[in-house]
């Protein structure tokens, strides 16, 4: 019904932003990763949206890329995966990494995500692996794989140091967007700095 919205950000909350479109404010649920990226954004932007219809409410989920919206729409077709869980998953892992985990049947990687247990991981793989391939949504090999492996190694290292899976995933996502080198050592140093800063705050 509402394919996209174009306007100015007027406020950002914990899991949403309000976009002013010709004087009308639309509250749009978004991933934590995207909201962090937009925290310092100035000027107009386009957000691709999906209208979530429930018996007692209407709400919008939004994404900066149409490809991420497509992945979200696939996730919510899976039994027991609702919009909030789908947004939570996409807050903790990049779309490319998620596609890699699903098509590669990497159950271990999926269960590191907060809210995804072994049963949900198997269900996601079973229901989405072939559909991703049929629709041509397959992670490309090359540099992306190297970055994904570095992220995975750093997340495992942080969890081994005692940080939670959720905090580890969030710190690595923030670190990736803030550095130019994506080797494991640089990524680990940056993520540890973010976690220490968050604890002091």
- The answer to whether the beta carbons of residues 74 and 131 sit under 8 Å apart is yes
- The pLDDT of residue 177: 65
Say whether 71-134 and 4-63 share the same fold: no
The CATH classification of domain 143-200, taken from the options 3.40.50.720, 3.60.130.10, 3.40.640.10, 1.10.8.10: 1.10.8.10
What proportion of the chain, given as a percentage, has pLDDT over 90? 48
Q: What is the DSSP letter of 181?
A: -
3-class DSSP state of 120:
helix
Q: Quick one: pLDDT band at residue 27, thresholds 50, 70, 90?
A: very high
Q: If you average pLDDT over residues 171-179, what whole number do you get?
A: 73
Q: Which residue has better confidence, 16 or 160?
A: 16
Q: With a cut of 90, say whether residue 141 has pLDDT above it.
A: no
Alpha-carbon span 92 to 19, nearest angstrom: 24
Q: What does the mean pLDDT of the chain come to?
A: 86
- The answer to whether the beta carbons of residues 173 and 33 sit under 8 Å apart is yes
Candidates 123, 77, 98; CA nearest to 173 is 98
- The answer to whether the beta carbons of residues 86 and 139 sit under 8 Å apart is no
- The pLDDT of residue 131: 87
Q: How many CB atoms lie within 10 A of CB 34?
A: 20
- The pLDDT of residue 144: 42
- The pLDDT of residue 137: 67
Q: Which residue has better confidence, 27 or 158?
A: 27
Q: Which residue has better confidence, 131 or 177?
A: 131
Domain boundaries of the chain, sorted by first residue: 4-63, 71-134, 143-200
| Top-level class of domain 71-134 | mainly alpha
What phi and psi values does residue 182 have, to the nearest 5 degrees? -115, 25
Q: Quick one: pLDDT band at residue 13, thresholds 50, 70, 90?
A: very high
Q: What is the DSSP letter of 135?
A: T
Half-sphere exposure of 90 (CA within 13 A, CB side): 29
Task: Go through the chain and tell me how many residues it has.
Answer: 201
CATH hierarchy code of domain 4-63: 2.40.50.140
Q: With a cut of 50, say whether residue 126 has pLDDT above it.
A: yes
Residue 57 is encoded by which pair of tokens? Answer: 């409410």
Cα–Cα distances in Å, from 189 out to 1, 13, 96, 152, 201? 44, 29, 23, 14, 18
């Amino acid at each position: 019904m509402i394919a996209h919205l174009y306007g100015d950000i007027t406020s950002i909350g914990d899991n949403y932003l309000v976009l002013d479109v010709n004087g009308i404010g639309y509250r749009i649920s978004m991933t934590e990763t995207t909201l962090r990226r937009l925290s310092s954004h100035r000027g107009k932007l386009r957000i691709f949206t999906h209208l979530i219809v429930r018996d007692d409410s209407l709400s919008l989920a939004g994404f900066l890329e149409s490809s991420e919206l497509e992945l979200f729409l696939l996730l919510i077709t899976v039994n027991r995966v609702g919009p909030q869980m789908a947004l939570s998953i996409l807050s903790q892992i990049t779309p490319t990494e998620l596609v890699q985990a699903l098509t590669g049947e990497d159950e271990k990687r999926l269960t590191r995500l907060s809210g995804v247990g072994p049963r949900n991981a198997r269900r996601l793989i079973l229901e989405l692996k072939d559909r991703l391939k049929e629709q041509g949504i397959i992670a490309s090999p090359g540099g992306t794989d190297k970055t994904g492996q570095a992220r995975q190694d750093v997340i495992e290292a942080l969890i081994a140091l005692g940080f939670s899976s959720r905090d580890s995933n969030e710190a690595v996502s923030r670190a990736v967007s803030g550095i130019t080198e994506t080797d494991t050592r640089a990524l680990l140093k940056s993520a540890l700095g973010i976690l220490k800063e968050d604890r002091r705050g």
